[in-house]
Amino acid sequence: MFGKIWQGLNKTRETFGRAIDAVFRDKKEAAKTIEELEETLILADIGVSTVEKLLKDLMKEDEPKKALVRRIREILLSAKKSSEYVEKPHIHIFVGVNGAGKTTTIGKIAKKRRDSGEKGIIAACDTFRAAASEQLEIWAERSGTEIVKQMEGADPAAVAFDAVSKAKAKNYDFCLIDTAGRLHTKHNLMEELQKISRVTSKAFPTAPHEISLVLDATTGQNGLNQAKEFVSKIKVTDLILTKLDGTAKGGIALSIVDELKIPISYVGVGEKVDDLVPFSPEEYAEGLFE
């Protein structure tokens, strides 16, 4: 029970979980209870339509609190990942705004895959600033993964093409593609990301097999709006919610899944290499409450 997701939700549980518990403990009349729950959920950055779903006829349930946890779990389970790809190399692109945690997450995933005996390449397609590929290089070393990079300002799509071609030629298991969260103003980020995606399929026709949108949990509803922008332009297959450990806004996961209809695959619960855990709707729903 007390796994890494539960720990990552410590701050959320201390505020959100406690506030919900307090509402139920007071045992007021049903209408008042619903009103207070509504307020608490909205304050926790959960969107109005999701709140309505959670609370509809809740007090008619035998055990309202248990029913609420169940409804939360059901929402988190409602978006399912489409079939897993078994194709090799597995071409995996990571997108998201600056600072969301893309580079760190790639490092963590590279390490996991290396530890399970796989070989692969990391593509440094954030050519916006030199520091980006230096940071990625550290992660590549740490995980024992090859890296493909070019000079600052190079064409990100060219880096992606090179990396995918190499991964294919060497019969590797994976290719993780890091991207920029912003570009020099004359370029359009979404177009650039679309181009990277297209180019991978030129090197390997079934690619990309996965496009993960990395979201910073601490940004709440604002992050959700940014996510909508990405999802409207790019074929995002799953979400990775980072920095859960640093926020009391863990409830945002509900809104994200409910509104975007895209499943969460991993959550980030710290800066260290082991602080990335596969998402579990059950553990998440339980972890919100004491």
Residues of this chain that interact with ligand GDP (CB under 6 A) are: 96, 98-104, 181, 214, 242-243, 245-246, 268-271, 275
Q: What is the phi/psi pair of residue 257, to 5°?
A: -65, -40
Provide the minimum distance between the beta carbon of 149 and ligand GDP in the complex, in angstroms, as a whole number. Answer: 14
- With CB under 5 to 8 Å by kind, the binding choice for 210 among Mg ion, ligand GDP, none is none
102 versus 209: smaller Cβ distance to ligand GDP: 102
127 versus 242: smaller Cβ distance to ligand GDP: 242
40 versus 212: smaller Cβ distance to ligand GDP: 212
- With CB under 5 to 8 Å by kind, the binding choice for 220 among ligand GDP, Mg ion, none is none
Q: Return the residue nearest ligand GDP (CB atom).
A: 268
Provide the minimum distance between the beta carbon of 188 and ligand GDP in the complex, in angstroms, as a whole number. Answer: 18
Q: Please give the Cα distance from 242 to 275 (Å, whole number).
A: 10
Specify the stretch interacting with Mg ion by CB under 5 A; choose among 73-81, 97-105, 194-202, 217-225: 97-105
Q: Please give the Cα distance from 210 to 205 (Å, whole number).
A: 13
Q: Which of 40, 103, 105, 237 binds Mg ion (CB under 5 A)?
A: 103
Specify the stretch interacting with Mg ion by CB under 5 A; choose among 34-42, 103-111, 246-254, 270-278: 103-111
103 versus 127: smaller Cβ distance to Mg ion: 103
- With CB under 5 to 8 Å by kind, the binding choice for 187 among ligand GDP, Mg ion, none is none
111 versus 243: smaller Cβ distance to ligand GDP: 243
Specify the stretch interacting with Mg ion by CB under 5 A; choose among 31-39, 55-63, 94-102, 161-169: 94-102
99 versus 246: smaller Cβ distance to Mg ion: 99
Interface residue list for Mg ion (CB under 5 A): 102-103
